[in-house]
Amino acid sequence: MENQKNVTEFIFLGLWGNPKTELLFCFLFLLCYLAVLMGNVTILLTITCSPLIEQPMYYFLCHLSLMDLCYTSSVVPRLIRDLAAARKSISYNSCMTQLFAAHLLAGVEIFILVSMALDRYVAIVKPLHYMAIMNRKRCNALIAMSWGIGFWHSIALLLMILNLPFCGPNQIDHYLCDVKPLLKLVCKDIRIVSILVIANSGMVVVAIFLVLVASYVLILYHLRARSSAGRRKALSTCSSHVMVVVLFFVPCVYTYIFPAGDQNKDKEISVFYTVIAPMLNPLIYTLRNMEMKIAMRKVWSRISHEKLK
């Protein structure tokens, strides 16, 4: 542990080395972050203030929006600050905190997406037993399980990194404290640790992604027996879920399935799941969902009416 204390802070190299480019993207990422806040807060207010909260699909969507808010807030505000700063530094303890928080929240989000896929599978394959299977108690259990699995995933990564010696270079070729860029700074052989990281993150993400793809293939197979109107409604809902899954999982698979290396484009690809996906999720779920649009109009008209009183 003595070797670790030689490094008390890390320096981010950031996304670009050009100060003018970074100032431009500072403004763009600020707009993206405001869009994430507005979009996900709108979804949270719409669902919690309407009868939609009683439906399992929207209950999970509410938790997904909360995770998007928290996950983005653990990364993007510091990114925006660093893009405007000449020196992009972070203390060792703050770096470890960001690593833990980001992986905890991302892990919870991944298993909420699994829960949403399970909800759609039961709704389409077993519609008569849907409310009995996806009752509120089981939905709460799925959310609790998501937090439990996310915690064990993130604590395992954190303990792995805390036991590694950082005794030399402290420049992180990234804009956040993530496990792969940190491994490049370790002053010991990291081959075994890299395998453990790939097993903990990469293989798990790939396995979950394949399970989700298989579940939506099964859903499409069972939709053959539905009426054309029923197929259109189910496909509209499922296509929104598929878009969110692809936006989040494909960049994650690319980032975590390969070992740490100088040629990887991890920091550029990670923008998709730290900024782009959380910003687009509210648009995907509201613009393609008539129930959400109707609920939004009712909630905001009620709020406007109460303000006028």
Taking only the tens place, the pLDDT of each residue in 19-46 is 777 788 889 999 999 999 999 998 998 8
* pLDDT, tens digit, 9 for 90 and up, residues 275-309: 888 998 888 887 767 778 888 888 777 776 666 66
Using the predicted structure, report yes or no on whether residue 60 has a pLDDT greater than 90: yes
Give the per-residue pLDDT at 227.
66
Give the per-residue pLDDT at 3.
44
Using the predicted structure, report yes or no on whether residue 161 has a pLDDT greater than 60: yes
Using the predicted structure, report yes or no on whether residue 109 has a pLDDT greater than 90: yes
Give the per-residue pLDDT at 2.
43
Average of per-residue pLDDT across 198-216: 85
| pTM for this model (two decimals) | 0.88
CA distances from 84 to 22, 52, 87, 133, 268 (A): 7, 41, 9, 51, 18
Residue given tokens 């037993």 in the structure block? 129
DSSP conformation letters of 173-220? SSSS--HHHHHTT-SS--HHHHHHHIIIIIHHHHHHHHHHHHHHHHHH
Lowest model confidence (mean pLDDT) among 37-41, 49-53, 129-133, 231-235: 231-235
Give the per-residue pLDDT at 111.
93
Give the per-residue pLDDT at 105.
94
Give the per-residue pLDDT at 71.
94
CA atoms within 13 A on the CB side of 231: 9
Give the per-residue pLDDT at 4.
47
